[in-house]
Every structure is written in structure tokens, then in C-alpha cells.
Chain A
Amino acid sequence: MLFDKFQEMAGFQANLADREVKPFGAVTEQILSATTGIVEGKEVILAGTNNYLGLSYDERCIAAAETALRRWGTGTTGSRLANGSFAEHEALEREIADFYGLNHAIVFSTGFSATMGMCATLAGPGDTILLDADSHASIYAGVNLSGANILRFKHNNPDDLAKRLRRLGDDTKRTLIIAEGIYSMYGDIAPLQEIAAVKREYGGYLFLDEAHSMGCLGASGRGAAQAAGVEDDIDFYAGTFSKSLGSIGGFCVSRHAELEAIRFCIRAYIFTASSSPSVIASTREALRIIRAEPERQDKLWSNAHRLYDGLKALGLPVGPAASPVIAVEMADHSATIDCWKALFDGGVYVNLVVPPASPSTNYLLRNSVSAAHTTEQIDTIIRAYAALVDAGLAKTEQAA
């Protein structure tokens, strides 16, 4: 039967409903601030929203959107290649290219369409794509459409990347290497100095998704490549406006002039309506704020270290280093759901992550930190996790 393949998911959702847990699609009924809201009837600290710099509720961004809304209306009603290229879109493309110190940029309607569209288009039949095994679903979706030979290298493993590039020989001239700055689930940072060195030795083009690292890393917030000092080795950057910039949309920037021709070949860019001008206007303002207020990044990392250190001190299984994304990994699926519910009931909203979003068979309690979190809010989150440990719901690394 056509619907048989959905029975497992239907059963999983029914189980969650029986347990009166709604981790997926919980409805936010009111936003109170960048870090608090009323979700499913309960006021909670938002610790799973990717709002790294707290700009989703910034008055300046809201004002910019309001002005654009009055000037341009609610939507473009068309593709960038038809009637949907407004002056706002072109201005943002100039500004995002300038932010990276490069000359070429494309703005997409979503971050997903930016990475998916670029990965589907840059490499084609006869080419090879070598992607990190833990790449985001949008990257996998894109490479699967590309028609290229698809190879994976072990997550964050430059030696494995080198081995696979060596096997390709001269074909590295037609190879696209794909990595991410900060990986979205565990929050770990790519070893870009080593990856760039491997690329220099064997060849290939390097595509870097900075979705979770733009605004969070680098002296001026460009991301992981800037922090690692390897920007000259990056051929294409992709990223999103829906994390640090607090709106929605995506981008690709490049030093390669060919990006201007590639633009006209990306189906995810051609066959979709462009972003509403008000969204673009708030994004432009957020980008200006990132450049003008680098102290936001300092606050983000201060909060990230505080939460990471607090969870680690509790003995919880977190990653090897502090990051704006901090995941608590658990093998007991049912216990993880109970933990998510207890956190929510305790006034803390985090993400419950299950396979295939989780890179392993384990479930994750994924926390994303914001510069807008107060120290008190971070401490409240830590206390909520301590309550899980005290109640025996979450196992510490020693007990696991």
C-alpha cells in the first residue's frame, strides 16, 4: 500500500501523543523576547531556537522590516528571474558579498534552498562530490539531485578526506569537497586548517556551509573559515539568514565570477518566489548590526561556555568543547523523551533530536545558546538539567 511506509512514523507520533509530549511542532503562542515565549500554553526559556545573536526581536530589525513592508508590500509574487528581483534583494547581495570581502553573491529564499540548490548544481554527471558524512539534510538532498558521483569522508576527518582525494587522482579537478563550519547537531567545529591543507595538496573545490557559524565565529563574524585563517581556500560559502541574522533566507558567496552564470542554472533559485522585501530589509539591518556590534559574539561565547561547563560539571554526556550548540546525547530513547518533557515542564524549551536528524542512533537534547540569554537564564537551564540528574531521568557519563 502507498501509505505503508508511513506507519512507523504514525506509530511514533501516536506514542508521543499518548505520553502527552509534543516535541515536534510545539506551537509558540506568544514571543515575549528573543529568549522567552509561551509555547503550548507554558512560558519557557527558549534554548532551542538557533537565535545565536538574539536578533529576531531586535527593534531596529523590526523597524527596517516595517518600513520595507510599507514601501514594497507583503511579497514579490515571483521568481528572482522574473519579477521578483527588487532593489532590496540586489542590495543584500552586494552587502553579503562585501561582508565576506568577495565580489559575487546569490540570495535565496531559504537556507535549505541555498545549500540544496548549490550542491545540486555545482557538480553534475562526470563530477565527484566528497562530503562530510554528518552533512546537513539539505546538502544530502542537493547532492542526490546532482547526478555526480557521491562519496563521503568520515566526519571531521581530514586524513580520510585525503585518502579519498588521493584515490581520485586527476579527477580532483572535477571534485567538490563539502564541509560545514559548525555542525548543527553536536555543535562541533570543522578542522578547517587541516581540511584546507588537504585541499591544497590534492586539489578540488571547497564548499563551506557556515549556517551555524556565521555570526558566531571569526573576528568579524564571517564564520569558521575566518576563525581558522583559511578564507583564501574556500571556493564557495553558503549560509542562512535564519540563525544569527534572525530572519529567513540563504546565500552563497564566492570569489569565482562563474557564480553569476551558475545563478541561472539553480532550479531552487529559479523556480521559487523570492523573499518578501520586509524579510530582506530586516536581514540587511541584522547584517549591519553584526558588523557594528562584535561584542554580541563575545556574549554568545560567554553564555556557551557557562552552559557547557555547567552541563559537563553535572556529568552529562556533552561534546568535547563548548559551542553555541550543545547536545546531550542519550542512548535510552524513552528516557530522552521523558527528559525533554521534564525540561519543558520545568520551563526550558530545547530540541529533541531523533534519527535521521541525529547523526547516530542516539537521541539528543539539543541546546542552542543565544547572546540574548541572561546569565540567570543559563543558570536556570543548568538547574533544569540538574533536576533531571537528581530524578534519575538523565544518566551521567559515569553512570552510563
Chain B
Amino acid sequence: MTDYPDTLSFIYGAVEEANKNGVALEESTALVADIGLSSLEVMELIEKIEDHFDISIPLNILPDVNTIGDLAEKVQELNP
């Protein structure tokens, strides 16, 4: 179990690596619409998160994940 702030912090760091346009990152920042991640970059991000928390994130939950906050909440659910 990881605290939500720690989960969020890790995701901020992982997203920052692909944040080519230097978008200010907040929980409400959209991964694709705001940051412009490609589908390949989204998959790389998911993989980093999976390995860090040693969890598996099913592809079928991704349609519900738009923002950094959405992703952090899903990770919390999968890492109780």
C-alpha cells in the first residue's frame, strides 16, 4: 500500500519525462489532451507505473483514465 500523495508524486515524475512541452502538471492535467502523450508514450508510462508498484494495470480500464488524478486513483485501487 502506498499513500495517495506518494502515488501521485511518482506519477508526476514519470509523466515529466515525456512532458516535451513543459505543461504544468496537476491532478486535473489530461495525459493526452493537455500533455499530448502518444498511445505509445501512454503505454510506456503505464509500464513504468506497473513496475514501480509491482501491479498490473488492465488495458480495459484505460478508457476511464483521462487525467493524472484518474490514473493515480486507479493505481490506488489496484494497489490496496
A149 to B56, CA, bound (A): 10
Q: Report B-chain residues with C-beta under 8 Å of the C-beta of A361.
A: 38, 40
Which listed residue (B38, B40, B55, B59) contacts A150, Cβ 8 A?
Answer: B59
Residues of A within 8 A of B57 (CB): 151
Interface membership of A81, Cβ < 8 A: no
- The answer to whether A150 touches B56 (Cβ under 8 A) is no
Interface size range on B against A: 10 to 19
Q: Judge if A167 is at the interface, Cβ distance under 8 Å.
A: yes
B6 within 8 A of A: no
**A253 CB to nearest B CB, Å:** 28
Q: Is B17 an interface residue (CB 8 A)?
A: no
Which residues of A in the span 138-180 have a Cβ within 8 Å of any Cβ on B? Answer: 144, 149-152, 164, 167-168
Q: Smallest CB–CB gap between A388 and chain B, Å? A: 28
Closest residue of B by beta carbon distance from A149 = B58
Interface presence of B60 (CB below 8 A): yes
Contact of A144 among B38, B56, B60 (CB under 8 A): B60
Cα–Cα, bound, A128→B40 (Å): 22
Some 11 contacts from A to B, beta carbons below 8 A apart, are A144-B60, A150-B58, A150-B59, A151-B56, A151-B58, A151-B59, A164-B56, A167-B54, A167-B55, A360-B40, A361-B38
The 7 A-B residue pairs with the shortest CB-CB distance, nearest first, are A149-B58, A150-B59, A150-B60, A167-B56, A151-B56, A150-B58, A164-B56
In the complex, besides A167-B55, A361-B40, 18 extra interface pairs with C-beta distance below 8 angstroms are: A128-B58, A133-B43, A144-B60, A149-B56, A149-B58, A149-B60, A150-B58, A150-B59, A150-B60, A151-B56, A151-B57, A151-B58, A151-B59, A152-B59, A164-B56, A167-B54, A167-B56, A361-B38
